[in-house]
Structure 1
Amino acid sequence: MQGLDDMTQRGAGLKEAIAAYSAPLEFNMQAAGWISVVSHWLMETFPDSGLAADWAALSSIELGLPTQAPSSFQRGLARDRIDEHLRWLANLPTKAALRAMTMPQQVNKESVETGRREVKLSLTSRAVVDPARIEALRELSSPEFDLAKLIRLCEEMNLAFATESYLSMAMLTRAIVDHVPPLFGKNTFAEVASNYGGATLKREFTNLHTTSRNIADLHLHSKIRRKEVLPTITQVDASNSLDVLLAEIIGILTP
């Protein structure tokens, strides 16, 4: 893959130089420059693939505040985050090949070309809803609530992510949020977000109620326009807040 070795070497050089930086400002600028260069390379090499957005969503790399001497912890954290980015680049060839095979327009094109009235998928993907959460839900039994639909919504969320069906992800997030309030003894998720749990839970649930709902509404109710800009994974990924929600549901229903 042309250019990948150069992108990787830049990151490896940045990692080796961490110990030499006595002030974070220069390092932070160098790290931001590397992130930017790789991002532009991804956009040019893999246009419309969403890979640049995935790269941008990785943890930020910095040594701390510009005027403060970095601690050993901050140096170690910066090193770990560079490793995270390097692992992502190492997996890029496989990721790019899988993405090319599973993007919705490519799947549809192959079906048309072969004269099939079927859709064929061959993919491996990260799960945005942890399979362990889904299994935990499946093992629960409640005399009041049937979890079958919630489980299926979570499974379809993973399928939507695997096929880069980001519009579906936004809508599935809203469907989950609208589906679960009775588990918390509430009629609406607005009531859950306002009245359930401590500060951390309220923050995560409020994010689901406001940001995720607004994004879903944007795509569900917007009229066709002269020019559309499709969402990226960065826009529709609410996996962290969803995991908090599912963990709380499991806690509520576990005897």
Structure 2
Amino acid sequence: MKGLDELSRLGAELKTHVKFGTPLEVGMKAAGWKARVADWIACTCPDSGFAAEWAAMPSIDIGDPLGFPSTTVREHAEFNLDKHLRWLAHLPVNAQVRRLSVPEAVNAQGAEIGRREVKLAVTSRAIVDPTRIESLRAIKSSNFDLARLIRLCEELNLAFATESYLSMAMLTRAIVDHVPPIFGKMTFSEVANNYGGATLKRELKHLDTTARNIADLHLHSQIRKKEALPTITQVDSSNSLDVLLAEIVVLLSD
């Protein structure tokens, strides 16, 4: 990828400033470098989602511009800078995988070879941790068949891997609507409002409100003159979902 080596070199040089520079100097140089990389990503990998990933990475700063940063603060900033550099180092492979796995590429490949089939070539992190799915699979319940829940989780991982973000929103809602009987309730709103302590309720209410509203938005919206497709930031409810699934494992493993 043309220009990547130069950007990586500039990032490596920034380490010296993080170790010895003033907070104002580090802040300005880090912001300039991140902006330069962001512009390069926008030109090199448009509509890939990489720009959003880059923008979401942790900040590289050493505190108040007029302050005196400690060694610990500088080490933390250097750790964050290393995260940026590793992300850049993995970008060529990730870009290739993404080109082969996004829905447009998958379907175009099928059309090009003249077959009514699609071929996936994808490596991705999991939205639902595979160990959580295995825990669900190991449950032997006489009251509930978890086959559909497990498949929904597996399809959610597949949707994430292929950047099928509309499907992610809908599958998350499907999971939420599927599980209330496990908690002895008819609806998930009843679960969210009545089950567990304050922390657990907060995560369940996130699924019942934010995640559900986002799914409704994409499920029921009619076609418009202009659309903005969802990003992973909008549809990722993985933390709250894992809390829900962990509670199901606890309930059904007794």
> What TM-score do you get using the length of structure 1 for normalisation?
0.90
Aligned to 2:10: 10
Identify the residue that residue 229 of structure 1 maps to in structure 2. Answer: 228
Distance 1:143 1:87 in 2: 47
1:161-240 equivalences under 5 Å are 161-240=160-239
Establish whether residue 130 from structure 1 lines up as the match of residue 124 from structure 2.
no
CA RMSD of aligned residues (A): 2.0
Bigger drift between 164-173 and 67-76 goes to 67-76
Maintained 8 Å contact 1:54/1:234: no
Equivalent-residue separation in structure 1 for 2:102 and 2:222 (angstroms): 24
In structure 1, what residue type is equivalent to 2:129? D
**More displaced 10-residue stretch of structure 1: 94-103 or 39-48:** 39-48
Which residue in 1 is equivalent to 2:109?
110
What CA deviation, in whole Å up to 9, does each residue of 1:143-195 have, x standing for no partner?
22111111111100111111111110111111111112222232222222223
Unaligned runs of 5+ in 2: none
Rounded to whole Å, the distance in 2 between the matches of 1:35 and 1:183 is 47
Q: 1:135 to 1:13 in 2, by over 3 A?
A: same
Q: CA deviation at 1:93?
A: 0.5
Q: SS at the partner of 1:164?
A: coil
CA displacement at 1:218 relative to structure 2: 1.1
More deviation, 231-240/245-254 = 245-254
Equivalent-residue separation in structure 2 for 1:208 and 1:60 (angstroms): 28
1:11·1:34 contact (CA, 8 Å) conserved in 2?
yes
Give unpaired runs (5+ residues) of structure 1: none
Greater shift, 112-121 or 198-207, is seen at 198-207
Q: Which residue type is aligned with residue 5 of structure 2?
A: D
Select between 152-161 and 70-79 the one with higher mean Cα deviation: 70-79
1:30 CA displacement: 3.4
Q: Residues of 2 paired with 1:32 and 1:94: CA distance?
A: 26
Distance in 1 (alpha carbons) for counterparts of 2:146 and 2:63: 45
Instruction: Classify the secondary structure of the residue corresponding to 2:163.
Output: coil
Q: Give the conservation status (yes or no) of the 8 Å contact 1:107–1:121.
A: yes
Instruction: Give 1:17 deviation, angstroms.
Output: 2.2
Cα drift, residue 22 of structure 1: 4.7
Aligned partner of 1:58 in structure 2 is: 57
More deviation, 50-59/220-229? 50-59
Any idea what SS the aligned residue of 1:223 has? coil
Instruction: Find the aligned partners of 1:248 and 1:64 in 2 and give their Cα distance.
Output: 39
> 1:43-79 deviations in whole A, cap 9, x for unaligned?
1111111111222233343334556543443333222
Matched-pair contact (CA < 8 Å) for 1:57–1:234? no
2:38 maps to what in 1? 39
Contact kept in structure 2, 1:129 and 1:158, CA below 8 Å: yes
Cα distance in 1 between the residues matched to 2:68 and 2:202: 32
Query: What is the aligned-residue identity percentage?
Result: 63
Q: 1:243 aligns to what? A: 242
Q: Equivalent residue of 1:91, what SS?
A: helix
